[in-house]
Amino acid sequence: MPNLNVIRLLFLLTCLPMPLFASLPADTLVDLNRLNGGIRSFQVGNCDTTLFEVSSKGVVLCKGNIPASARPYRIDIKSQTAEGVYVDNRIELWQNEQHRTVYVEANVIEMATGMRKDGKIWVVIAVVFVLFAAVLGYLLFLQKKIAALENKSGQ
Amino acid sequence: MNSLSSIWTWMRHEWQLELRQKAGIQGAILYVLVSLVVAYQAVGEIQESEVWVGLLWIVLLFSIVNSSSRSFASDSPGRKILLYFWLQPGQLILARMLYQMAFNLVSGCLGFAVFCLLMGLPGGHLPVLLVLVAVGSSAAAALGTFMAAVASVSGNGPGLSAILGLPLMVPTLMAAAKGSLFALQGGLAQAWMYVGMLLLLNLLAVALGYLLFPYLWRE
Amino acid sequence: MKTYLKITAVAAMFWVIPMAFLGEVSVQPILHETIRNLYWHVTMWFSMFILLLASVVHGIAYLRHNNPIRDEKSLALTQVALLYGCIGIVTGMIWARFTWDTFWTKDPQLNGAAITILAYLAYMVLRASIPDARKRAEISAVYGIFAFVLMVVLIVVLPRMQDVDSLHPGKGGNPGFGNYKDLKNDMRLVFYPAILAWTLLGFWLANLSFRIQHLTRISHAQP
């Protein structure tokens, strides 16, 4: 069962590229592969494409100068890990005169696969079917009654 | 053209009738002034744009609904028969709609002027606001006139015309309010877009009214 | 109403009901599993729109040929459409309570939906206030056309004119439901049959309702 996994990382990036990211392009903000244990695929949600770019490998890059602002810049990326679990990543970035600060928050998106695995989902389906069958039966009953009335009044 | 001149003649006739009935113009002016004074006593000068826009359009709505619902209400049955023979239905509705649109345009702009005087103008581009008020009032007036026609044909009076008219005026008012908000907060391009939208609504109301009124008038 | 259409409606529902719970859906933040409500809530609104369109078509046909049957059909369709609209609003409120923690929010589409219901309630009031049948039919046909055109403007045109900061899918950076085609699934396979099912069921309900009202009117007319 996937449990809720909230990761909060704080990176302090200066304007000089860090040797830690020597293998990555300059001005990398976040590497999703390092964050979620490796991703299989991702989907970019909200992102200002004039300031940021998400490369095809799941690396969030910063294009050029980010203006200093009181509000954090937000990027939402939904990724699927190698095990198939969906993770919702929110990356927030502040820029002031001294430095940039990046917050990353990752939440696993829970789905009700448990209920389906247990077979309980069939109970739900059966209930809805019964309700619909009842409505359908009533419709058919009404239809017969109306047809009978129409025949009677037609004669 | 014969029909154009008869529309114009009828519009002038409506204006003279309005002048003769004291309740007409003075009533409209009184509604606007009284509501503005009450609002001013309660709120004073308004700094926040949303409150300003909301109050402005409620006051304008009040006066537009009142004046446009009176357009068909004062028709006695004798006058209705007279109109039926004198004018084609399309000409009648166009004349009444255009008259109401012009009247409410002017009264809306005057109301807007007094509103600015009392509640102040928290920033914003005055010409755009004026255009928005003008076009918005005339669109709402066109709709109100048609709903007054529906209410009068159904024989149930001005109360029904408000019930029918207000839900349908909501798109117009929403467009006008959003546009005014943009105008106050500096988004001029969007505000002009809303002016275009209001012009379209205006045309839509007049066109639909012109097409559908003959069916009403058959009664 | 043709039998094959009714069978299609039932068959479509029999497909939609299990697939709505078992099928693969797009995984979205905030929504999680409630995205399945898409098949019920959103399809209601689409069906309501189609039913109202049919009602307006009958209204226009009445204005051209003055056949009172058309007016009765128009009324029945509008009644079912109002029912669907109310269901749509209630299901929307339930959905909102669980995903956004509130029953209602300031969003143009929600506003538009509420005003549409108001306008068609005004239509019912209008009908109730006119005793003469022929007059009632003419006037409600005219008002129905007006209401439909303006509602299209209200729900379809106005919300698209600006990107409001709202949680409703399609606004403020939330992916609209057109983007729910995720990596593997295709929700449209259940979505379109659901619209078909609700619309045909709506036509069936309207058909039955119209026939009952017609019979009642005939039996009252004859002494």
Subunit contact C29:A88, Cβ cutoff 8 A: yes
User: Residue C207's pLDDT band (boundaries 50, 70, 90)?
Assistant: very high
Q: Is C170 within a domain?
A: no
Q: Measured between CB atoms, does C182 come within 8 Å of chain A?
A: yes
pLDDT in tens, A90-136: 888 877 767 777 787 777 777 766 666 677 778 888 888 898 999 89
Nearest C-alpha of chain A: how many angstroms from C208?
A: 7
Q: Measured between CB atoms, does C162 come within 8 Å of chain B?
A: yes
Q: Which residue has the tokens 């009214």?
A: B209
Q: How many CB pairs under 8 A join B and C?
A: 76
> How many Cβ atoms sit within 10 Å of the Cβ of residue C60?
17
Q: Which chain C residue's Cα is nearest to B173?
A: C154
**What string of H, E and C letters represents the secondary structure of B148-205?**
HHHHHHHCCCHHHHHHHHHHHHHHHHHHHHHHHHHHHHCCHHHHHHHHHHHHHHHHHH
How large is the average pLDDT for residues B71-82?
74
* Encoded amino acid at B172, one letter: T
Q: Measured between CB atoms, does C15 come within 8 Å of chain A?
A: no
* First-to-final CA distance of chain C: 30
Q: Is C60 within a domain?
A: yes
> How many Cβ atoms sit within 10 Å of the Cβ of residue B87?
19
Phi, psi for residue B93 in degrees, rounded to 5: -70, -35
Q: Do chains A and C touch (3 or more CB pairs under 8 A)?
A: yes
For residue B93, the number of C-alpha atoms closer than 13 Å in the C-beta half-sphere is 26
Subunit contact B168:C135, Cβ cutoff 8 A: no
Task: Return the H-helix or E-strand segment holding A12.
Answer: strand A7-13
- Determine the distance from the C-alpha atom of residue A93 to the mean position of all C-alpha atoms in its chain, rounded to a whole number: 19
Q: Is C102 within a domain?
A: yes
Burial class of residue A142 in the structure, from the number of CB atoms within 10 Å of its CB (0-12 exposed, 13-18 middle, 19+ buried): middle
Q: What average pLDDT is seen over chain B?
A: 82
User: Residue A14's pLDDT band (boundaries 50, 70, 90)?
Assistant: very low
Secondary structure E strands in chain B: none
Render A75-94 in DSSP notation, one character per residue. EEEEEEETTS-EEEEEEEEE
| Structure confidence at residue B136 (pLDDT) | 92
- Stretch among A129-138, B149-158, C6-15, C213-222 having the lowest mean pLDDT: B149-158
How large is the average pLDDT for residues C67-83?
93
pLDDT in tens, B189-205: 888 888 888 898 899 88
Considering Cα of C141, then C142, then C143, then C149, what sign does the dihedral take?
Answer: positive
- CB contacts of B164 in chain C (<8 Å) are 122, 126, 143
Give dist(CA B72, CA B158) in Å, integer: 9
Subunit contact C141:B215, Cβ cutoff 8 A: yes
Burial class of residue C220 in the structure, from the number of CB atoms within 10 Å of its CB (0-12 exposed, 13-18 middle, 19+ buried): exposed
| Contact assessment for residue C202 and residue C81, using Cβ atoms and an 8 Å cutoff | yes
Q: How are beta strands A28-31 and A59-62 bridged, if at all?
A: antiparallel
**Non-local CB neighbours of B219 within 8 Å, separated by 6+ positions:** B153, C135, C138, C139
**Non-local CB neighbours of C152 within 8 Å, separated by 6+ positions:** none
Instruction: Please tell me which of the candidates C33, C208, C219 has its beta carbon nearest to residue A146.
Output: C208
| Contact assessment for residue C161 and residue C111, using Cβ atoms and an 8 Å cutoff | no
Q: Is C13 within a domain?
A: no
Helices C68-99, C108-128: inter-axial angle, 10-degree rounding? 150
Q: Measured between CB atoms, does C183 come within 8 Å of chain A?
A: yes
Subunit contact A125:C208, Cβ cutoff 8 A: no
Give dist(CA A79, CA A109) in Å, integer: 10
Q: Measured between CB atoms, does C149 come within 8 Å of chain B?
A: yes
pLDDT greater than 90 at residue C81: yes
C-alpha distances in Å from residue C87, one per residue of B143, C90, C102: 29, 5, 18
User: Residue C79's pLDDT band (boundaries 50, 70, 90)?
Assistant: very high
| Contact assessment for residue C193 and residue C15, using Cβ atoms and an 8 Å cutoff | yes
Q: Is C179 within a domain?
A: no
- Residue A5: name the closest of A147, A106, A94, A84 by CA: A106
Q: Measured between CB atoms, does C3 come within 8 Å of chain A?
A: no
How large is the average pLDDT for residues C163-169?
61
Q: Is C141 within a domain?
A: yes
Give dist(CA B204, CA B218) in Å, integer: 22
Give dist(CA A86, CA C216) in Å, integer: 58
Burial class of residue A8 in the structure, from the number of CB atoms within 10 Å of its CB (0-12 exposed, 13-18 middle, 19+ buried): exposed
* Encoded amino acid at B195, one letter: V
Domain ranges for chain B, please list them: 2-217
Determine the 3-state secondary structure of A52 from DSSP: strand
**Non-local CB neighbours of C13 within 8 Å, separated by 6+ positions:** A132, C197, C201
**Non-local CB neighbours of B75 within 8 Å, separated by 6+ positions:** B83, B152
C-alpha distances in Å from residue A99, one per residue of A26, A49, A54, B45, B168: 16, 21, 21, 43, 54
pLDDT greater than 70 at residue C164: no
* Encoded amino acid at B47, one letter: Q
- Identify which has the larger pLDDT, C185 or B218: B218
- CB contacts of C13 in chain A (<8 Å) are 132
pLDDT greater than 80 at residue C142: yes
Instruction: Give me the number of domains chain C comprises.
Output: 1
Q: Which residue has the tokens 């989902």?
A: A121
- Identify which has the larger pLDDT, B185 or A16: B185
Instruction: Please tell me which of the candidates B146, B160, B201 has its beta carbon nearest to residue C126.
Output: B160
Q: What average pLDDT is seen over chain C?
A: 83
Domain ranges for chain A, please list them: 7-108, 113-154
Give dist(CA C40, CA C191) in Å, integer: 9
- CB contacts of B204 in chain C (<8 Å) are 149-150, 153
